[in-house]
Structure 1
Amino acid sequence: MSSSNIYLRKLEMKDASDLLELKLRNRNFYQQFEPIRDESHFTLEGQEREIATGIQGEANDQSYIFGVFMKETNELLGRIALTGIARGAFQNAYLGYFIDEIHNGKGYATEAVSRCVNYAFNEIGLHRIQAGVMPKNIPSIRVLEKAGFRHEGLAKKYLKINGTWEDHELFAITAE
């Protein structure tokens, strides 16, 4: 998947050190939007496990994990994933993403979300993608809105983020 600014590529083991560097650089910035993670997550082995889980998830059609890369430099700018894939009558996945803080506000997240949605609908045959965002995360809400997601409601105490059960605004997009 490519575009004028970025491209998505499934993460591979060779990306583990770049992914670790990205997460360490953004750890404080994103902690307010993330679950509390064990320190082992912030190691090379932790990132290799995450990538291996993504590879295994794809093999089982349960998840697809991509790196968001700058086209000109091949720099890893972020991560985007389709997880919790349900087939049958649902054909649904959950979407999660983040972009390096220094690249926020440049349209890369919106572009990555649009490319990932296109992949989900046209390459792996999903019908619906949903995402949950904390109400205070206005930039992420704008990303989903610009990518064509519709607001579906508020889920109270939806996920445990940074040690607290947080409400999340729910968004979805369907293939239509």
Structure 2
Amino acid sequence: MSSSNIYLKLLEMKDAEAILDIKRRNRDFFQPFEPIRDESHFTLEGQENEIANGIQGAKNDQSYFFGIFLKENDELVGRIALTGIARGVFQNAFMGYYIDQKYNGKGYATAAVSLCVEIAFSELNLHRVEASVMPRNLPSVRVLSKAGFRHEGLAKTYLKINGAWEDHNIFAITAE
């Protein structure tokens, strides 16, 4: 799936080194918005394990991990994932994403979110996609708003981020 400047592709093992590079270079930048991770996460094996879990998740229709690639040179600049997929009467997934700091503010995250929603609805036949964002993460709030997500409420002490239980705004978009 592609947009004017980027495309999404399911992550493969060959992408592990590029993802590791992004994770290492952006460690301090990402940390205020992520769980505290074990040092093994910042190794090639750690990223290969994460991609392997993503590949298995896609086979089981439980999760899909996409790389965000620049069309101009096929550079991997981030990741977006649909996880916790529930079928039956719910038809829901949770979305999470990150973009390399050097590519922030260029519209890539908004384009990736829009493309991922398109995949969720047209290819995966989901009805709803949710994303949660800490209220102080204003750039991510703007991304979701620009991509058509609606604010549904505040979940108090929702996720343990950077060692502390953090409130999160809940956003969602439905197929309608």
TM-score, with length taken from structure 2: 0.99
Quote the residue 1:117 is aligned against: 117
**1:83-140 deviation per Cα after TM superposition (whole angstroms, max 9, x unaligned):** 0000000000000000010100110000000000000000010000000000000000
CA distance in 1, matches of 2:63, 2:148: 22
Quote the residue 1:94 is aligned against: 94
Name the Cα RMSD after superposition: 0.4
Quote the residue 1:54 is aligned against: 54
- Give 1:2 shift: 1.4
Task: Give the partner amino acid of 2:66.
Answer: F
Alignment size in residue pairs: 176
CA distance in 1, matches of 2:16, 2:77: 13
CA distance in 2, matches of 1:90, 1:3: 28
Quote the residue 1:132 is aligned against: 132
CA distance in 1, matches of 2:111, 2:163: 30
Unaligned runs of 5+ in 2: none
Q: Which runs of 4+ in 1 moved over 2 A?
A: none
Task: Give the partner amino acid of 1:41.
Answer: H
CA distance in 1, matches of 2:100, 2:40: 21
Q: Where do residues 1-176 of structure 1 align in structure 2 (5 Å cutoff)?
A: 1-176=1-176
- Secondary structure at the aligned position of 2:165 is classed as strand
CA distance in 1, matches of 2:3, 2:85: 26
- Secondary structure at the aligned position of 1:110 is classed as helix
Unaligned runs of 5+ in 1: none
CA distance in 1, matches of 2:27, 2:137: 16
Task: Give the partner amino acid of 2:138.
Answer: I
TM-score, with length taken from structure 1: 0.99
- Secondary structure at the aligned position of 1:56 is classed as helix
- Secondary structure at the aligned position of 2:62 is classed as coil
- Secondary structure at the aligned position of 2:26 is classed as helix
CA distance in 2, matches of 1:131, 1:30: 17
CA distance in 2, matches of 1:26, 1:171: 25
